Structure 1
């Protein structure tokens, strides 16, 4: 396990297991963990069950975090899994202004007559218009992509250009359907870290350009969404629009941006999604990736690479890339 970086606030949630034991929902306070399947009268089987009774359970978690008489376990020696198993993953695309500009320039056709400066200016104008017209862009991901924060990432043999995308993820508590922007954050239990890996070579369909993007192919390989380590309650994050998102590759900083660069914040995204879909406890809303992806640097992921991702107050995840066995 990576070196512990304490999350913001007095406690966080996670999913843990002892060696050869079954995963259990846990309360992390300092460097100790309390098994919530035993500590709570509702005997939740997983973190999603904890979130399903969030309004009632949150005060109990605050009290448990200070209860030294409970049967706490040391974090050291426990395996840390993804903090929650979502039923639905909603992913925001093109939500960081600088990131979209960088990608558009990198994906330009060789015969594009525009200079780099002209291309950047045109895309910047499009981003500003999207923000003014209030039109987020959201697509769906598969729960089977979720992996633990310290698990190896298997790079599929077919993925020619695997890339990183570190993102802030909001975790839903109370079900949300057709909620307003003002109501939306009341449905968010907390936040965690997601690395939304993408194979850049398969983002766009080559056989029929009119079809557009192929999110199934480029983003949904098993383990392509390392998640966690912790679910930090929203009450411990003063402003989700003012967090630092940083990814290091083999020790070198590649992404380092504030969530202030988002076109649409968490409340707007949750509200927008809820106008079409019913958000459920444990669902993830990925808020998009800031600038600094591999395509920008001309350096994609390969066997042996180590990614270390951190977001202010949410801890650190550390994953190693491994080639798929032939």
Structure 2
């Protein structure tokens, strides 16, 4: 479907962003979207019929000034954004996901899971959890695992809730998009490898996070997080320079109009630079890859309300626009 009207009215920080769009009939193409909701087809503007957003990111240092110039040039042919369908902005080769990275969220979990026989008042247990978080931020490492690119879907596409998913939940996250290969990079140099940022909603079936048949195995992220469409992404990639400091961006998720998540990235335990650096100590991050940075407090398990057929999620992050996805129950196979 074409871009939603509300998306066109609240675009992004800066003069332009990258998107993957398609006409109602036609193949998807890389696009430069301007702040006044106009679209430049980058295949034409850069004279490359086979161009993709990932190709742009492969040569990001050289490409960024060219895109900046295009955004300010009145010569390239433009069309209104509302005429196009918006897809996930990039097809990554790798998706790095983070867990337990928002202080208040983890404190809430700590307090909710009271050990048997622990009769201390909540205030005392909350203070203990806060001390643990401070120590973790100073001494520990981020918790990062791998997701599948096949779970990604567009920012306005329906999300199919698998028939087997008993407790599907939302997890709004800031996603960093890699624009330069990164392996073994320092925290100080990590952001030099980030091209920009986008919005991700990292859905999770809470019922399958932990293996029931063999508890000693631990978590099962394949089953719980990687169903097709479980990672709505986009709508845009906003260049890092336009976003600026990611230390105080507001993440807001509404379910059927009711605010469920509303938190700042100030609450992160490990910031973007530490996340990218940590992932790069093991893996080689490639242009177009995603580093998801964790989800703040306010998930469905907190509210005692999981996703159901017909639910509508509206998710936004400061400077990155907004996405809207509707949940549709899968017909049991």
Which TM-score band applies after superposition, normalised by the shorter structure?
Answer: over 0.9
Report runs of 4+ in structure 1 exceeding 3 Å deviation: 41-44, 104-109, 111-116, 118-123
What's 1:46 paired with? 52
3-state SS of the aligned residue for 2:12?
coil
Looking at structure 1, the residues matched to 142 and 74 of structure 2 have their Cα atoms a distance apart, in angstroms, of 45
1:190 matched to 2:208? The reply is no
Q: Pick from 17, 20, 40: which aligns with 1:12? A: 17
What's 1:22 paired with? 27
What's 2:301 paired with? 295
Looking at structure 2, the residues matched to 160 and 108 of structure 1 have their Cα atoms a distance apart, in angstroms, of 24
Q: Pick from 175, 178, 183: which aligns with 2:181? A: 175
Looking at structure 2, the residues matched to 119 and 208 of structure 1 have their Cα atoms a distance apart, in angstroms, of 30
Whether the aligned pair in 2 keeps the contact of 1:196 and 1:225 (CA below 8 Å) is yes
3-state SS of the aligned residue for 1:140?
strand
Segments of structure 2 that go 5 or more residues without pairing to the other structure are none
1:150 matched to 2:159? The reply is no
Q: Pick from 66, 72, 82: which aligns with 1:76? A: 82
What's 1:248 paired with? 254
1:313 matched to 2:319? The reply is yes
What's 2:167 paired with? 161
Looking at structure 2, the residues matched to 177 and 143 of structure 1 have their Cα atoms a distance apart, in angstroms, of 20
Deviation, structure 1 residue 69: 1.5
Looking at structure 1, the residues matched to 293 and 50 of structure 2 have their Cα atoms a distance apart, in angstroms, of 28
Aligned residues: 325
Please give the residue correspondences for 1:263-282 in structure 2 after superposition, counting only pairs within 5 Å.
263-282=269-288
3-state SS of the aligned residue for 1:275?
helix
What's 1:262 paired with? 268
What's 2:143 paired with? 137
Deviation, structure 1 residue 238: 1.7
Whether the aligned pair in 2 keeps the contact of 1:106 and 1:296 (CA below 8 Å) is no
Q: Pick from 39, 56, 68: which aligns with 1:33? A: 39
3-state SS of the aligned residue for 2:20?
strand
3-state SS of the aligned residue for 2:200?
strand
What's 2:72 paired with? 66
Looking at structure 2, the residues matched to 273 and 303 of structure 1 have their Cα atoms a distance apart, in angstroms, of 35
Segments of structure 1 that go 5 or more residues without pairing to the other structure are none
Whether the aligned pair in 2 keeps the contact of 1:12 and 1:231 (CA below 8 Å) is yes
- Residue by residue, what CA displacement relative to the aligned partner does 1:28-51 show, whole Å, maximum 9, x if unpaired? 002111111221145552100110
Deviation, structure 1 residue 105: 3.8
Distance 1:41-1:112 versus aligned 2 partners, 3 A rule = farther
Deviation, structure 1 residue 122: 3.9
TM-score by length of 2: 0.94
Deviation, structure 1 residue 157: 0.7
